[in-house]
Amino acid sequence: MKGMTAYIIRRIFFFIPTFFVVSIIVFSVVHFLPGDPITWMLVDNPLFVSPEVIEALTKHYGLDKPLYVQYFTWLINIFKGNWGMSMKTRAPVLLEISSRYLNTIQLAISAMIFSIVVGILAGITSAVKQYSWFDRFSMFGALLGAAMPVYWTGLLLLWLFAVKLGWFPVAGGTDLRALVLPAVALGMARTATMARLTRSSMLDVMREDYIKTARSKGLSERLVIYKHALKNALIPVVTVAGMSFGGMLGGTVITETIFTRSGLGRIAVESIWTHDLPVIQGVTIVYVIIFISLNLFVDVIYAYIDPRIRYE
């Protein structure tokens, strides 16, 4: 237990400088976007556009200060819980994010569950029944799923299951039925990756000597596969699953736009179009925090599966 605690502490200290480096990159990229955010802010009110108004608003948002001063002010305010005000809605950025982030997390987790369950089960079955019709069919499906981008999969699912068959709502909605198609569309490519990786890893593990020893002891094939082979085969799968979740968070930008879901992805697109710097920074830093936390979680699970990692 002490070894695991020390390992977690080391990983936390490792991610602290990572957060600061990424925050610098996020701040720099956002502030080098083309266009003046103050001008975009006043685009709906052309009568108020004047040099005096622009100058006053520039000072109000601190955009007249050097970039390094703006960065440290922004970073300190983040830790204080003051994430600024939206230039578009004049609402607190934290309020804008808190009202939508649960929808994005719900979508990403649902897609992750779909990809893990379907992908791992398909990969295990394909490995156990190597070269069977199921193996060939599932691997072909995995190749097809990996080749299809999220926006194409989403539009195809919408056309077939929402427009033609009417099984699911075409757009919007907050119930479980409205979550199915976006989750499948977002998780399809990762499901394909999970299936192929699980199959490959299972085939490698099942050739090991300890698996042959377990079979020679008279253990049932189900016990050999799910108790002895699967745990070791899951090590690379867990790593890819963690990285896939980060990719899914990024994929929510497209998915939420296609399915008109209210979430972080959609607010990110809207804020980019309107040059709403505080919201862009806020949404991006939330993605960074989630991604870093997820990496820490994956590292802990990884160390639990293979205890040797804690002592490296």
| CATH number of domain containing 193 | 1.10.3720.10
| Phi-psi category of residue 288: left, alpha or beta, with phi > 0 → left and psi -120 to 50 → alpha | alpha
Mean pLDDT, to the nearest integer, of 252-260? 82
Task: Give per-residue burial for 214-249: e unless 16+ CB within 10 Å, then b.
Answer: beeeeeeeeebbeebbbebbbeebbbbbbbbbbbbb
Number of domains in the chain: 1
Q: What is the pLDDT of residue 173?
A: 64
Of the pLDDT bands very low, low, confident and very high (cuts 50, 70, 90), residue 135 is confident
What is the percent of the chain where pLDDT is above 90?
A: 0
Q: Is residue 10 assigned to a domain?
A: no
What is the percent of the chain where pLDDT is above 70?
A: 88
Q: Is residue 234 assigned to a domain?
A: yes
Mean pLDDT, to the nearest integer, of 52-81? 81
Q: Is residue 244 assigned to a domain?
A: yes
Task: Give per-residue burial for 92-101: e unless 16+ CB within 10 Å, then b.
Answer: bbbebbeebb
The pair of three-digit structure tokens given for residue 190, joined into one six-digit string: 């990762």
- The answer, yes or no, to whether residue 180 has pLDDT greater than 70, is yes
Give 185-244 pLDDT, tens digit per residue. Answer: 888 878 888 888 888 888 887 777 777 777 777 777 777 777 767 777 777 777 777 677
- The answer, yes or no, to whether residue 302 has pLDDT greater than 70, is no
- The answer, yes or no, to whether residue 305 has pLDDT greater than 80, is no
Of the pLDDT bands very low, low, confident and very high (cuts 50, 70, 90), residue 304 is low
pTM over 0.85: no
Q: What is the pLDDT of residue 172?
A: 66
Q: Is residue 163 assigned to a domain?
A: yes
> Which of 144, 146, 126 shows the shortest CA–CA distance to 136?
126
| Phi-psi category of residue 62: left, alpha or beta, with phi > 0 → left and psi -120 to 50 → alpha | left
- The residue range of the domain holding 172 is 101-262
Q: What is the pLDDT of residue 35?
A: 67
Q: Is residue 236 assigned to a domain?
A: yes
The pair of three-digit structure tokens given for residue 126, joined into one six-digit string: 């394909």
Q: Is residue 16 assigned to a domain?
A: no
